[in-house]
Structure formats: C-alpha cells, structure tokens
C-alpha cells in the first residue's frame, strides 16, 4: 500500500489500473479457473473441429457389430451403439448440440432474468408486484403444451428449443437477483448514487448488478446442466433434436437404459458431460472472484 502511494507521489508515468485489468490479473492467478478454461476450450475444439477431420459420419452404420465394446484396433475408440454407430463420433456431434443449446438458452435466461429481477427489485412497489406476478404466471404454465404450440406455429426448428427453454429458465434467476437487489437497495453506496443524481438505468447496470454477480455466476452454472438435461427430456418426447443428430443428454439417457449390457454408452458421454460442467463451474467461480468489486486490492 505504502509503496503504491509513494510511486503515485513521485512518478507521473504511473497510470491507474482499470477494473478489467485487475480482474484479468486476478483471473489468471486462479489455477483452477485457468485449467478449466483450457479444458473447456479443448472440449469445444473437439466437438466443433475434430469430427470433420476424416472421422466416420454420425449416422454411418459401418459393418461393425452393434453394441461393440471400445476397441482401438478397429478404430472404434468408445465402442458402438445399438445400430453399430461410432459412439466417439456421435458424442462429439452430440456435444455441438448440447453446447449450443446450453450456451444460448443460458444466455437468454441470464440476460432476461438479471435485468428483469434487478429492475423489479430496485423500483419496488407496484412495478415489482406486477413484474413478479408475471413471473408467477409463467412458472405455472403447462410447459409441454407451450413447447407443442411453438412447434405447431413455427415448425420444427432447433432455435425454438432455445427460446422455449430460455423462456422458462430465467424465472428463478429473476427471483434470486430481485431478492439480492432488494437488500442492496438500502445500502449507503446506492443512496450515494441516488444523491448524485444517477439515472436508475445506470445505477442498476453499473452498481446493482456487479454487486450480485456472486449468486448470478453460481446460478448460471447451475442453469447450464439444467438446460442441457431439459433438452434431452424434450428430445426424448420427440419435441427437440431429431435423429440421427443427438446430444449429450440424449446419449446419456439412452446409455442409462443399457448400462448393464453396454456400460460404455453411459460412461463416456457422461464423462464428457461432467467434465464440461466441472470446468464451467470452476470457470464461473473464477470469473466471480475476479469480477468481485469488493475483492481485496493487492
């Protein structure tokens, strides 16, 4: 502390560090977070690039046996499924869908939920009452009918899946953010903002949301697996991804049914799914710690 003060006093070339630069340094000092970042990038690369490097097609029935155990020599690294399709290739292609659904639907729910909750909690009173009753109403809607109707009006389209899932997943996020904001609203720094005449928009975006990042980051990392599993559920009902495309959720679901006869069908997609979520969890925690406005300055 004293060293910095001296430096500021003596040297004109010392510049202030931006919050972002601080956050970056803090993030890269966190080993768990950096490792997770590397793993996550590798997984994304594997799913989006590797399948196009001359592997079999995901619907290639080949001439290998059904339910073949993993076998290096024949090139079926992770074995085959009921139709003799290469599980390795199918898992990678499935990852494309899962990552896409997980990322997009989570982003939709994150943006809507945070803004909705922060606005309701900050303004309070009637506006809050009205906004939160809408949340209650949406919670109660029969979800499957909602999805069926989307499919009827807009045809079978994977984008609809994101919309449908995102539309329900933001509700709890909104409630969590609102609860936190209601508690923050009475704190001194917000009073200071108000007395400085800052606009509501600015207070919410610049002062409220950064202070609720902790629960937001955690709930986001809880939303991603929920979204991916909801996708599997809808696809299972015939409302989501259609064969021959697949997703991690669907592969795991199929694998769970065959786990005594062909355990690899459950284990490998499950491992990749878990690994992805683990890395996202630690990544989320690392980001939260890095962006925490109250983190100790050192």
Partner 1 sequence: MVRYAVHRLLVAIPTLVVIVTIAFFLIRIAPGGPFDLERPLHPKVMEHLERIYQLDRPLHEQYLSYLRNLLAGDLGPSFYFRDFTVSELILSGLPISVQVGASALLLALGLGGLLGVAAALRQNTRSDYAVMTVATLGVTVPNFVVAPVLTLIIGLQLQLLPVGGWGKPGNYVLPIIALCLPQIAAIARLTRASMIEVLSSNFVRTARAKGLRESVTITRHAIRAAILPVVSYMGPAVANIITGSVVVEQIFSIPGIGRYFVQGSLNRDYTLVMGVTVFYGALIILCNLIADLLYGVLDPKVRYD
The only residue of 79, 166, 240, 249 in contact with partner 1, by rule CB under 8 A: 249
Q: How far is the CB of 195 from partner 1 (least distance, A)?
A: 18
According to CB under 8 A, which residues from 33 to 92 bind partner 1?
none
Neighbouring residues of 201: CB distance < 8 A, sequence distance ≥ 6: none
DSSP per residue, 5-66 = HHHHHH-TT--PPPHHHHHHHHHHH-HHHHHHHHHHHHHHHHHHTGGGTTPPPTT---SSPT
Q: Does 127 bind partner 1 (CB under 8 A)?
A: no
- Least distance (Å) from partner 1 to the CB of residue 201? 22
Q: Does 179 bind partner 1 (CB under 8 A)?
A: yes
* Minimum distance, C-beta of residue 233 to partner 1, in the bound complex (Å): 8
By CB under 8 A, residue 32 contacts partner 1: yes
The gap from C-alpha 253 to its chain's centroid, in whole angstroms, comes to 20
What lies within 8 Å, CB to CB, of 3 at 6+ separation is none
Nearer to partner 1, 100 or 216 (CB): 216
- The rounded distance, in Å, linking the Cα atoms of 118 and 180 is 8
Q: How far is the CB of 97 from partner 1 (least distance, A)?
A: 16
Q: Which residues contact 50 (CB under 8 A, 6 or more apart)?
A: 92
Residues 180-239 that bind partner 1 (CB under 8 A): 180, 182-187, 214-215, 217-219, 221-222, 225-226, 229, 232, 237
> Which of 38, 111, 27 lies closest to 287 in space, CA to CA?
27
Asked if 186 contacts 269 with a C-beta cutoff of 8 angstroms, the reply is no
Closest to 228 measured CA to CA, from 293, 167, 192, 277 = 277
Residues forming the site for partner 1 (CB under 8 A): 32, 129, 132-133, 135-137, 139-142, 144-146, 148-149, 152, 171-172, 175-176, 178-180, 182-187, 214-215, 217-219, 221-222, 225-226, 229, 232, 237, 249, 252-253, 256, 259-260, 266, 270, 273-274, 277-278, 281, 285, 288, 292, 294, 296
């Amino acid at each position: 502390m004293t060293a910095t003060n001296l430096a500021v006093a003596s040297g004109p070339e010392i510049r202030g560090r931006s919050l972002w630069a601080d956050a970056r340094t803090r993030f890269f000092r966190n080993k768990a977070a950096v490792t997770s970042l590397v793993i996550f990038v590798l997984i994304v690369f594997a799913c989006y690039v590797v399948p196009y490097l001359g592997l079999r097609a995901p619907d290639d029935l080949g001439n290998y046996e059904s339910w073949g155990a993993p076998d290096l020599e024949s090139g079926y690294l992770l074995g085959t499924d009921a139709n003799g399709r290469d599980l390795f290739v199918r898992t990678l292609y499935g990852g494309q869908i899962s990552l896409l659904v997980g990322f997009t639907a989570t982003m939709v729910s994150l943006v809507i939920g945070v803004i909705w909750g922060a606005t309701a909690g900050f303004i309070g009173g009637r506006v809050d009452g009205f906004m939160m009753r809408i949340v209650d109403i949406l919670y109660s809607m029969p979800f499957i009918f909602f999805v069926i109707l989307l499919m009827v009006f807009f045809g079978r389209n994977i984008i609809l899946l994101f919309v449908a899932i995102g539309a329900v997943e933001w509700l709890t996020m909104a409630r969590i953010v609102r609860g936190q904001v209601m508690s923050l609203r009475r704190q001194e720094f917000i009073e200071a903002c108000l007395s400085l005449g800052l606009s509501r928009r600015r207070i919410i975006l610049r002062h409220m949301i950064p202070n609720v990042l902790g629960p937001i980051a955690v709930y986001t990392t809880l939303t991603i697996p929920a979204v991916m599993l909801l996708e599997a559920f809808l696809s299972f009902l015939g409302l989501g991804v259609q064969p021959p495309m697949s997703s991690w959720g669907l592969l795991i679901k199929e694998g769970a049914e065959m786990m005594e006869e062909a355990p690899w069908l459950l284990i490998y997609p499950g491992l990749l799914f878990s690994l992805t979520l683990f890395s996202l969890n630690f990544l989320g925690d690392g980001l939260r710690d890095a962006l925490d406005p109250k983190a100790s300055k050192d």
